[in-house]
Each structure stands twice: as C-alpha cells, then as structure tokens.
Amino acid sequence: MRLPRDLTGSKLVRALKVFAYEVTRQTGSHIRLTTLQHGEHHLTVPRHDPLRLGTMASILAEVARHFEMSRDEVVARLFGKGR
C-alpha cells in the first residue's frame, strides 16, 4: 500500500493510537510515544510538516517489527479505506 505524501508528524501520532501508542513526552519538535501492547515499545516521531517519506517508512517499519506484521498491514490499519 502506498504511503500518504502529505502526512504531518502530529497526524501520524494521532493515527498510531490504533496501536495504543500514547504520548509520553515531547522535547522540542520530537514526540516520544509508548505502547504496552505486545510488550513495551517506544517511538520518536518528529513533528514536521510534512514528514519525509523515508522517516515515515522507518517509523512504520519499527511498528511493523514490534507487532510482527508487514509494513503494508500497518499502513492499511492506519490509513486504509474507511479511515
């Protein structure tokens, strides 16, 4: 599935709530997220507008690795039809 091209860091943070990620802190323009599903996992998302595709792909690959899913499955859950 194709990644959205105009996604901001703030929108990605809101979308990641699907996987129970919650904001734990923010330092400058970087937001730290934590989930306790499938064990504790932390992510750092830059609050840029828009996010660079490589940055977004890397973050989504981390989520996919943690939840033992493919990156396409993660993208479909976050940005698939009906969202």
Give the per-residue pLDDT at 81: 63
CB 16 within 8 A of CB 75: no
Whether the predicted pLDDT of 82 surpasses 70: no
> How far from the centroid of its chain's Cα atoms is residue 42's Cα?
11
The length of the chain in residues reads 83
Q: 3-state DSSP call for residue 42? A: strand
Domain ranges of the chain: 9-79
Give the chain's mean pLDDT.
93
Whether the predicted pLDDT of 2 surpasses 90: no
For residues 44 and 33, what is the distance between their CA atoms, to the nearest angstrom?
6
CATH no., domain 9-79: 3.30.920
pLDDT over 70 percentage in the chain: 96
